[in-house]
Structure 1
């Protein structure tokens, strides 16, 4: 009987130890790191909030953060949290992008990869109310390859089309089977990427707005054809498009406008 009790106690002890070790391993695997800490007035009361960017890497010392969030300890003693998508090296710029006289949080999170893309967020904590202001959506751009090694895009918001001469890529396109003796093998679209960059800039009447850059690629991601730039300003809580520019990447000449 005594041996049975000792055996039962030993089994319970090792099971408990195993469970504790398992919990510890999970905690270590999900170890939260503080990426940055700032002191900025976000509410408009001239008292500074403490803003942390925190993240959990996919594994110890990994650069990619599978979870990212902003933790704000406000001057009124309350804590606010913003959950973000995973990525690399998140950062915050404190800019008054809705032009109400109070700093907003413009957040960038690079996603990695050959596309050089990032996720962007915009929040305000005016009067201790956390509000997602959002960022302007990328331009809606229709695209297509044309016969004789040409590409065409149409920007929906301004109803303008631009045609690009791509003859300098003819050998590559023929090799890939996109063209056969200058004729398209089948209808094909160019690659239109979302914002590669979105940057606070001075726009109308020196107010702050955002400038976005979208890349247009051809047969593959590295086959860059043009950049499409757009400038935006927030009016009455909504983003308004101020101007667009299309710049062909491999030529100093201006693109042909239809």
Structure 2
């Protein structure tokens, strides 16, 4: 059972009195992140230059107000600038205490985003997920092959996927293949860093897993060949892959088929 402690002081008002004039409360959530059975208040704050039309936010920080003591904890992280920053509270580890997911869109042409998950159990800050660590740890190979195929290898999971690119068009394919479908020279693509990460309770047990998206890139960033979809599940000390798929884009059909 959770309860809200009574206080004549509004925590949001208390917080805003300590911030710079250009600092905004970007998002906030209620939940028990300390594990004491009392709802805490979690804020995402950041700074914006009000003289500019851009919606870019910088110096984004996490602020936790302990619901029982009103102790304020401010947490910084490395990638602290971007667009549309938001919070999600949920149990990712199975200890029945809310963890804190932070999502920030980079705004770049690659469609990448920054993601962090923090635990604040017993008022101790612990980082459970860092998008940069994940991007660097999980590696892929993207190799063009003869006969208009692209091989994607997931090195960590030791999985291989094949993408058929015959529908890419003659102009695209003629630059890469001869008239017999043989590659003119070796060509590699790549897999982009995270562009999406979503909390999903697959098992309906109120413990959330992570659903991640990474684009498979061919010759250039706008040349998307597919999307690696990996689901992560907490295992003792970190998130581990649970299952992984490669989704491919469909091509248009000129006539309706029955």
Residues 36-90 of structure 1: CA deviation (Å, up to 9, x unaligned): 2333221111222222211112553530112211122223332212224211011
**Separation (CA, whole Å) in 1 of partners of 2:47 and 2:204:** 41
- SS state of the match for residue 98, structure 1? coil
**Separation (CA, whole Å) in 2 of partners of 1:31 and 1:70:** 16
1:149–1:170 contact (8 Å) kept in structure 2: no
Aligned residue among 31, 34, 39 for 1:48: 39
Listed as ranges, the gaps of 5+ residues in structure 2 are 1-18, 253-258
Q: Residues 64 and 185 (structure 1 numbering): CA distance in 2 closer, same or farther, change over 3 Å? A: farther
- SS state of the match for residue 195, structure 1? coil
**Separation (CA, whole Å) in 2 of partners of 1:57 and 1:191:** 34
**Separation (CA, whole Å) in 1 of partners of 2:218 and 2:250:** 13
Give the structure 1 partner of residue 110 of structure 2. 115
The answer on 1:228 being equivalent to 2:228 is: yes
**Separation (CA, whole Å) in 2 of partners of 1:239 and 1:247:** 22
Compute the displacement of 1:216 (Å).
0.7
Equivalences, count: 224
Give the structure 1 partner of residue 3 of structure 2. none
**Separation (CA, whole Å) in 1 of partners of 2:31 and 2:157:** 38
User: Per residue, is there more strand in 1 or in 2?
Assistant: 1
Aligned ranges for residues 12-161 of structure 1 at < 5 Å? 31-58=22-49, 60=51, 61-75=53-67, 76-84=69-77, 85=79, 86-135=81-130, 137-138=134-135, 139-161=138-160
**Separation (CA, whole Å) in 2 of partners of 1:128 and 1:220:** 45
Give the structure 2 partner of residue 237 of structure 1. 237
Listed as ranges, the gaps of 5+ residues in structure 1 are 1-26, 253-258
**Separation (CA, whole Å) in 1 of partners of 2:99 and 2:233:** 14
Q: TM-score, normalised by structure 1?
A: 0.77
Q: Which has the greater radius of gyration?
A: 1
- SS state of the match for residue 122, structure 2? helix
2:147–2:182 contact (8 Å) kept in structure 1: yes
After the TM superposition, which of the residue ranges 224-233 and 93-102 deviates more from structure 2?
224-233
Give the structure 2 partner of residue 166 of structure 1. 165
